[in-house]
Chains A and B, each alone.
Chain A
Amino acid sequence: MKTRYLLFFLFVFVAGLGGSPAVSGQKIEYIKTTDLEKILKNKEDKLSVINFWASWCAPCVKELPHFEKISKEFDSDEVTFFLISLDFPSEIEGKLIPFLKKNKITHEVAVMTDTDYNLWIDTVDPGWQGNIPATLVINNAKKIRSFHPEELDEKQLRELINKSL
């Protein structure tokens, strides 16, 4: 896990994506299609809850606190939460990071840097048209998979996870 962090920080520096973003309090990762594929193909017997969102998307902003809250209710050995931000690359520093600070989102956020969306949307779910919010619940080892391209309320999200464990 530590190596992964190091690699990501290395990536951030190498890519020169704003050098060191102001991340006091929040952890920001910059990911690419290959990183997303790794998350999607993870073979560990563990549930992954992957939320696609953006700070510009009103229904996403409404459901994000549920993810923040519920992620603390589950053992990290049992469930991993991924908050994948689709904020525009030009608005990471100016909008996304201030948004995370203001809303006290402490969960790590992964920023998708591959903006050629057509290249990776189908790998998440072939039926997905790219509308956000969208949430994928997946455990490849147990062949559990459900995709929800809509806003979830707190109760729906908790039930969905419990049902998938």
Chain B
Amino acid sequence: MKKYLWLLLIGILLPMTAGAQSAYKAGDIASDFKLKNVKGELVSLAQFTDAKGFIVVFWCNTCPVVKKYDERLVKLNEEFAGKGFPVIAINSNDKGVSPGDSYEEMQKKAAEKKYAFQYLYDESQDVARKFGATNTPHVYLLSKTDGKLKVEYVGAIDNNADNAAAADKHYLADAVNSLISGKPIAMAGTKAIGCSLKWKKV
């Protein structure tokens, strides 16, 4: 019995460490996924035939840093969805560890905050592992390049979580604008303090 438990543990931990080691960075090719949105529909990136790319962001209902960025994410989607870069928010937090991040609570939050973007539930946490996401919020900007999803930028939205007006480096918006105007991205990776992604307890 003990032997099986060890095998189980290895089976769970190995893909986790593998995921962490191969975390997506700028230049990598991302895999598409299929996740349920707050309306109960299955969504994959392939269905957005008109999009030039995606602002994929690991998100949740509960993290105070995410809450600081709620309005900013709504605005980013307003600004960039029409230009071919819609926001795709993904909640990968385990509801056992963080009950406020259940699917039902996602539906409530999406309605309350008037999310016009897709808010998807990664219940198995497979997508977070695949991307190598560790935080909320954690941004992955993707572009459609040669029929593939190329990672263009990984990291923070801007440089001031507490006060949107005081942010003077808009890393994500600058990266999207660079893509739109065909210029190289100045900062392809940044870091920010955020909530740890709430992984299922083994």
Main secondary structure of the interface of B (DSSP, over half): loop
Judge whether B68 is part of the interface by a CB distance below 8 angstroms: yes
**A53–B121 CA distance with the chains assembled, in angstroms:** 27
Distance (whole angstroms) from the CB of A62 to the closest CB of chain B = 12
When the two chains form the complex, which single residue of A57, A90, A122, A149 contacts B162, counting CB atoms closer than 8 Å?
A: A90
B191 touches A117 (CB 8 A): yes
> Looking across the interface, which residue of chain A has its beta carbon closest to that of B134?
A129
How many residues of B are counted as interface, with CB atoms below 8 angstroms from the partner's CB atoms? Answer: 24
Annotate B147-162 by CB proximity to A: 1 below 8 A, 0 otherwise: 0000000011001111
Q: How many interface residues does chain A have, given as a range?
A: 20 to 34
- Residue B169 CB within 8 A of the other chain: yes
B156, B161, B193 pick with most chain A CB within 10 angstroms: B193
Which of chain A's residues has its CB closest to B160's CB?
A115
**Contact: A132 with B193, CB < 8 Å?**
yes
Instruction: Point out the residue from A115, A117, A131 that lies within 8 Å of B196, measured CB to CB.
Output: A131
Contact status B134-A118, CB under 8 Å: no
Q: Does A165 lie at the interface of the complex (its beta carbon under 8 Å from any beta carbon of B)?
A: no
**Which residues of chain A have C-beta atoms less than 8 A from B197's C-beta?**
131
B191 & A122 in contact (Cβ 8 Å cutoff)? yes
Task: Determine which of A89, A91, A118, A128 lies in contact with B190 in the assembled complex, contact meaning CB atoms within 8 Å.
Answer: A118
Contact of A149 with B193 in the complex, beta carbons under 8 Å: no
* Residue interface mask B51-84, A partner, CB < 8 A = 1: 0000000000000110010000000000000000
A117 to B68, CA, bound (A): 15
Spell out A's residues near B (CB within 8 Å).
52, 54, 56-59, 86, 88-91, 115-118, 121-122, 128-133, 149-151
B residues within 8 Å of A by Cβ? Answer: 64-65, 68, 98, 134-135, 138, 155-156, 159-163, 169, 171, 190-197
